[in-house]
Structure 1
């Protein structure tokens, strides 16, 4: 990195030590900080060649080898990232947000590329889709996992998987919810602390995903499509009387399930404000009722067709936005939870969209030009480590500011004049991207 390193580069080297200790070989320990410095530092393009020109002059081949071809295991660094994220924002008041982000690509050889629908962009195009996990507390997110989703056009083509270097363990078809549950297990095994799992309707409509979260003892709040079926909370299973033929062997619900939007049609809606945004208080109309989710075993009911039996009891929540848009959610939070708490939990999911935007616009998540599974995931890991470092700086600066404010307040109460410490100029505007705030 040279002798004329700036303040943030020196700090990065020190902060990275636990990660570098896990890399072993000295060449890797030298290339890792350079790659991350390239992601953080100035310059619009964050692919290997321009980063090498800016931060590793003459070392392009080594930098490329480190990401694309080097023989090293990313698992220890991924585990260290989980531990660092927990140190930064983990806790019972943290949330774990499950989502996915689309990386646009041209051609057909980049691993996982296919014509896919991107919900965040509202269209179908050629993308790589990464399932993401974001740990967040308050308005500070830390991305802790990015794992590539492989569409059927890839998992059905063994030769294509081999050419892209996809590990054998990842070649079988896996849905996005299945990938998310596997990554949640990895985070839990590393001791990451959070109070609630949040996800949009792309994950919330999956009964195995919701049931998987409950089986792990996790609290969750997820989006759902308006037509997802639910039962009134008081539904009972009864034994129907057989007028002729053999006696019935299975009980059936005493009332039919209904679409979620119909269940909330007659509910009491209230204006709820959940937090302050950049343009004032954020608010919408909400309603919530206790229900039983229709995701139990399927059961054929005479003259009614097939119905799923009542499953877990949960909150069904509706949101009417000022734009006229209507959204629906399920949450397994306790029955005593008030409406504002339900709304705040649901709306906390917006923070992952901010993290996705910052990783792409400021750290070059979508700038990787290689085609392999290994290269893509190593690049994604480096962007997440860089992002965690920036959040470390952000929290440290906020802590110093609070300490100075307390010192000034104490001096004022004592009747003296506070001593002003000389503040260091922020390097964020010059050498580091500003971690901007956005509204949902």
Structure 2
């Protein structure tokens, strides 16, 4: 199964920066990388000739929303032959009917986050429109199941999940398939999250949960790309220079991700202290640094140091998993 995801980062304060939309590609058990990017040009910038000239924005570039940019990148990925099975994204994209329609037109399943006040109908009540929050409120307890949304660095990311069949809306078009509302509930706080899902064929709840969990790959991709290849360390202020720097950083990160994936053993469900742990992107970069830029210590020292770190990480993973699995025992 392959999962593609788009993301727009938010700084959380007023600052001098560029806002961009990225497309990431992930394969469970293999790895993930950023595969496409577009600058988000605010409407005020798109309509300002002086700003456009100073930043070198091409004349062909017009204002586009973040979901529209994501749709363009999705079309490029499919045209390039990228093997995609599912699409997932946050509320900015899940609330956009046009992007969801693009995915359905390509028979591409999706699990897209939506807001709690998103209105929808159930097939058993076609004349009643309710919010996602209202649907969750009246669900009986026996429909909830406890599943892991994927393996984290400190254990499985376990939540309570439920899904409900929903009716096709007018905005959803007429492409045949199956629509669901997927609901995630925190075991500790009871906080809810909602996802609008579609698939050309029936799928189990566990399959939708795995796709929803793949969204974490984008956070890991950004963290690693910033820490290992300096994705956020540019000082550029023009259109062309941003694309050049960002593209080079993405290529460098993809190179490290592929090398790491080739030396990654299968992750066990319940790891033991002596289970092998694969090379992470940071470990791969450290080894390349030793090879490309020799220092006083020998390569044997570098390999021994890496082996020690991997053993330490394996033991830490074992204890984290043992603690988390004892907490998240099924009811």
Query: TM-score range, shorter-chain basis?
Result: 0.7 to 0.9
For these two proteins, the number of residue pairs brought into alignment is 271
Distance (whole Å) between structure 2 residues aligned to residue 124 and residue 232 of structure 1:
40
User: Match of 2:233?
Assistant: 367
For the Cα contact (< 8 Å) 1:204–1:223, is it kept in 2? Answer: yes
SS of match in other structure, 2:128? coil
Instruction: Provide closer, same or farther for how the CA distance between residues 177 and 277 of structure 1 changes in structure 2, counting only shifts above 3 A.
Output: same
Distance 2:14 2:144 in 1: 38
Q: Which has the larger radius of gyration?
A: 1
1:169 to 47, 60, 72: 60
Q: CA deviation at 1:294?
A: 4.0
**Residues 222 and 330, structure 1, Cα contact 8 Å, conserved in 2:** yes
The separation in 2 between residues aligned to 1:342 and 1:209, in whole angstroms, is 19
Determine the structure 2 residue equivalent to 1:330.
196
Is the 1:229–1:293 Cα contact (8 Å) retained in structure 2? no
Structure 1 stretches of 5 or more lacking a match? 1-92, 102-117, 237-254, 298-310, 400-425
Matches within 5 A, 1:173-252: 173-234=63-124
Distance in 2 between the 1:361 and 1:335 partners? 40
Give the structure 2 partner of residue 307 of structure 1: none
* Deviation for aligned residue 1:398: 3.6
Q: Does residue 2 of structure 2 align to residue 98 of structure 1?
A: no
Find the residue that maps to 1:161 and give its secondary structure. Answer: helix
1:263 aligns with one of 135, 148, 161:
135
- CA distance in 2 between partners of 1:276 and 1:312 (Å): 29
Q: What does residue 88 of structure 1 align with?
A: none
Provide the rounded CA distance (Å) in 1 between the counterparts of 2:178 and 2:13: 35
Task: Give me the TM-score of the superposition, normalised by structure 2.
Answer: 0.74
Q: Is the 8 A contact 1:196 1:219 kept in 2?
A: yes
Residue 125 of structure 1 aligns to a residue whose secondary structure is: coil
| 8 Å contact from structure 1 (residues 149, 176) kept in 2 | yes
Native 8 Å contact 1:229 1:294 kept in 2 = no
Q: Alpha carbons of 1:146 and 1:397: their partners in 2 closer, same or farther (altered >3 Å)?
A: same
Supply the distance in 2 between the matched residues of 1:155 and 1:202 (Cα, whole angstroms).
Answer: 20
SS at 1:296's partner residue? helix
2:28 is aligned to: 138
Q: Which residue number corresponds to residue 262 of structure 2? A: 396
In 2: Cα distance, 1:234 partner to 1:356 partner: 42
State the match for 1:125 in structure 2.
14
Return the offset for 1:378: 0.7
Tell me, what secondary structure is at the counterpart of 2:7? strand
Normalising by structure 1, what TM-score?
A: 0.57
Report the aligned-residue RMSD.
2.9
